[in-house]
Amino acid sequence: MMKSLYIPTERSAEQRHLRRVLQLRWVLIALEIILLSLDSQGEWIHFFGSPIGIILGMQLALQLLSEAWMRSSNRVSLWMIGYQLVLDVGCLSGLIYFTGGATNAFVSALLIPVALAGVMLPMLGTLLVLAVAAFAYSSMVFWLPNEMHHIHDMHAHFVGMWVNFLISAFVMTFVIAVIARELRQRDAQLSEQKLQALRQHQVLSMGAAAAQTAHELATPIATLSMLHEELSENYPTDTDIAALAAPLKQCQSSLSELRQVADELRLQQVSIILADALFTDLVERVRLLWPTLELQVSHHFGDEYLKTDSSVLPALINLTQNAAQSAELSGCPRISIDGGVENGVWCCQIRNPIDELHQLHQPPGGALVASNHGFGMAQVLSRTVIERFGGSLYATVRDDEMCVEVRLPVEAA
């Protein structure tokens, strides 16, 4: 039996960012070891126990711990990435301080964590990394060796480098942060457009399936209707034959509605109807489909209008069917449907008791879920249909009751 329909295989953006930070840190550690080995001319014995060796050991230990944590945990937050970048600034600052401080030619390496923060973190986290880097560089400029303070030209040169670093860091932070934010917004818009296109494809597929079903049912229903007419003429007093008239009429009516839904979905036709009429049709269908269900109805409408098509009512019925099934499972077959217009929005709330607390990790209909009692494909299609007309679908759980709310924008009369 299938437990889940979707298995996440891709890493989150935070996990990918942290993986890049760790990869870049390996490169940085390798470069640090190479440069220090060239500077020491192979005399590594001087590094053991020295501040530089301790900082390198701490940096390597941090990297190994981060790698182990990355492999054992799937929960990565942006603040974890910011914490890693702040530690990188601290390690780099320590190495630079003990190898010349502000006179070190590689002091601009402090810009690397700042640039990464601008790409990966929100503005607050980026400013935090920038502040730590600026403080570290400023401290090294303030604590220049004494002999440098007596050389006026060199002192002015290092102060100028410090000012240039601060300007570069600020410009890099805000430019990269703005570009990264715009790229994230664009990616979100593209993802939303892709999702909209997928939902539109689902609607078109539903229209094609409805057309195919209508085509397949048309001939059998027409044949049964002809046979019923012949039997009615031959046996006019037979009560069983007469009882078949109502079901056949209902089948013909449903087939006609199915054809209408398929045509409107194929041609993208919409119509303007009264808000009260849609709610009334929904209540009538619910009473017809579930006569044993205890139904509580309350509504307040005026002369508002909605832009819909024939697929909206079946979408609402699907949601009501889920509520009815959940109510039956809870042992209390009762649902309530409330309707009204608030602030230019048509609202319909479907409430039903539940037998256990449902945890809503995402909006209803956001993805397919495995279930033997609904809340699957029908709800996805219902949400797709509602969103086609600018509406929205929400679900909330309070105590032992679930409420599904449908909202549709009201059209100007």
248-300 pLDDT per residue, tens: 888 887 777 777 766 666 666 677 888 888 889 899 888 888 888 888 898 88
Identify the pLDDT of residue 379: 74
Identify the pLDDT of residue 199: 66
Q: Which residues of the chain have pLDDT under 50?
A: 1-10, 147, 359-363, 365-371, 373-375
Exposed, middle or buried, 241 (CB in 10 Å: 0-12/13-18/19+)? middle
Identify the pLDDT of residue 369: 43
Identify the pLDDT of residue 13: 75
Identify the pLDDT of residue 389: 82
105-158 pLDDT per residue, tens: 788 888 888 888 888 888 888 889 999 998 988 888 877 655 455 555 566 777
The whole-model pTM stands at 0.52
Question: What is the secondary structure of 230-264 as a DSSP string?
Answer: HHHHH-TT-HHHHHTHHHHHHHHHHHHHHHHHHHH
Instruction: Characterize the bridge pairing of strands 334-342 and 345-353.
Output: antiparallel
